[in-house]
Structure 1
């Protein structure tokens, strides 16, 4: 497991451990050819997780023509990467308390991960990495809420934007949710590009400096576009133009990928 920044250790903010089923799932997904049967059996071995995955898979947003009644069927209908991403989402949610403050966060994570994966596929990028980045983008907020719900809950509810929120977090806790989220991504051994995207998402979305890691730049670009898709779709055109110029992605292809993802989102 990669080391966690000692400064975070000194703050005594505990990072939740990665569930064992996700550890095993990551090993399966790392194989050159994923064993679909083993993957289905692994997820179905955790009854609560399997039930949550099937509920998510059968939601209207995934547009299945027939109901998936087993995880094996879900993999057949959606593919291993999509089901793995959904399993990560359910596993992520399971390590945090159920609360109204976090429900909106998880809904955004679900939608963001989905549209980033859709755009990644259209552009020939790694959809699982993009989905993971979108899913974990705000996980640092959940870590802070888990650590100090009485102090962080009101801060989260009253937040009008992440640029101001990170300043409040630094003043109150000595760390911001983007740094804390990246630390959690490292401890859960997510892809480096996804981890970097989580660390830089606030900076990128507010017009700051992009990361130097080449593999992370396209993922950050998808994060920035997804930010506008979910919050201000009327500004999508100028946003795509700016993101394409900064990331080096083809503007026309990025625009089409964004429009396709938005169409899926609206239809759902």
Structure 2
């Protein structure tokens, strides 16, 4: 998909999707995904396969025993979560390694997993939810890649994403939410995921879902995941605010979100034990 011409005029480069992820997207487009083909594709890139195995063996997934192959990972975690981890590693690889970006990638992995599983619990497009979570802050990496010396003070000192948007607009004429959405669109993510990335700061600040977006459930899931990560005590209030705007039942949303939280906490506890 084309990048917004207005963004092109700013001369901020949107990195192209790696070839392995292009092929992975084509495989995932098939309703009956060939697991052998999927594992073979990931394992054909040694660096990517190693990064995927390292990720799935982390405490976040809490698997019993060490997973030795991508095929094993798919068996234990399922196609969607392994594909999402692959996208996470592929996304990270197109940007420079920098200490300032490590918190962005750490949050991306946790948020993507949360959103994918909440989406699954609520029967709301788990792949779109997971990918939206992974890509939510990727616009920060785009700006860091574009102008590291100018962006470093902003990303390290801004007290909130809302303040960061203001600083970005002042310095670059564009903010990370718009750039992140542009990257998502150029990489072929679902429109619902693109919209969630584009509006996540506004949603998290105001608890108001964008009226111009028809399918708002992914935006709602983003707000729920943000509440779990930033301040779990606000979960009930956030759910009651956003669920009706996305035509979701508040009780079902709270039940599903809490169940996902408990599953991930239990996985981490098992791994630590």
Higher mean C-alpha deviation, range 100-109 or range 206-215: 206-215
**Structure 1 residues 69 and 94, CA gap change in structure 2 (3 angstroms):** same
- State whether structure 2 residue 71 is matched by structure 1 residue 67: no
Partner of 1:7: 6
SS of aligned partner of 1:206: helix
Preserved contact between residue 196 and residue 211 of structure 1 (Cα < 8 Å): no
Q: Distance in 2 between matches of 1:211 and 1:132?
A: 22
Change (3 A) 1:30 1:53: same
Q: Find the counterpart in structure 1 of residue 180 from structure 2.
A: 181
Mapped contact 2:209–2:220 kept (Cα < 8 A) = no
User: TM-score, normalised to structure 2's length?
Assistant: 0.94
Deviation at 1:258, TM superposition (A): 1.6
Partner of 1:214: 214
Distance of 1:260 and 1:157 partners within structure 2: 34
Is the partner of 1:12 in helix, strand or coil? Answer: coil
User: How far apart, in 1, do the equivalents of 2:113 and 2:31 lie?
Assistant: 24
- Which aligned pairs between 1:1-268 and structure 2 lie closer than 5 A? 2-207=1-206, 208=208, 210-215=210-215, 217-267=216-266, 268=268
Superposed displacement of residue 209, structure 1: 5.1
Report how far residue 246 of structure 1 moved: 2.3
Q: In 1, distance between residues paired with 2:3 and 2:211?
A: 19
Deviating above 4 A after TM superposition, structure 1's stretches of 4 or more consecutive aligned residues are none
Tell me the distance in 2 between the aligned counterparts of 1:60 and 1:156: 27
Task: Give the superposition deviation at 1:66.
Answer: 2.7
- Cα-to-partner distance string for 1:124-181 (whole Å, 9 max, x where unaligned): 1111110000000000001001111111111001111111211111110000111000
Q: Contact 1:58/1:68 (CA < 8 Å) preserved in 2?
A: yes
Question: How far, CA to CA, are the matches of 1:195 and 1:237 in structure 2?
Answer: 26
State the alpha-carbon separation in 1 of the partners of residues 88 and 46 from structure 2.
16
1:120 shift after superposition: 0.7
Judge conservation of contact 2:239–2:250 (CA < 8 Å) in 1. Answer: yes
Cross-structure match for 2:271: none
Aligned length: 266
Q: Contact 1:61 / 1:264 at 8 angstroms: preserved in 2? A: no
**Contact preservation (8 Å) 2:121, 2:257:** no
2:105 and 2:264 map into 1 onto residues whose CA distance is 16
Query: Structure 1, residues 101-123: CA drift from partner, whole Å, max 9, x if none?
Result: 00001111111101111111111
Please tell me the root mean square deviation across aligned C-alpha atoms, in Å: 1.1
Contact 2:193–2:218 under 8 Å retained in 1: yes
Q: What secondary structure is seen at the aligned counterpart in 1 of 2:243?
A: helix
Structure 2: state its 5+ residue gaps.
269-273
Equivalent residues of 2:209, 2:242 under 8 A apart: no
Partner Cα distance (2:155, 2:263) in 1: 29
- What's the offset of the Cα at 1:214? 2.4
Work out the CA distance in 2 between the residues paired with 1:60 and 1:163. 31
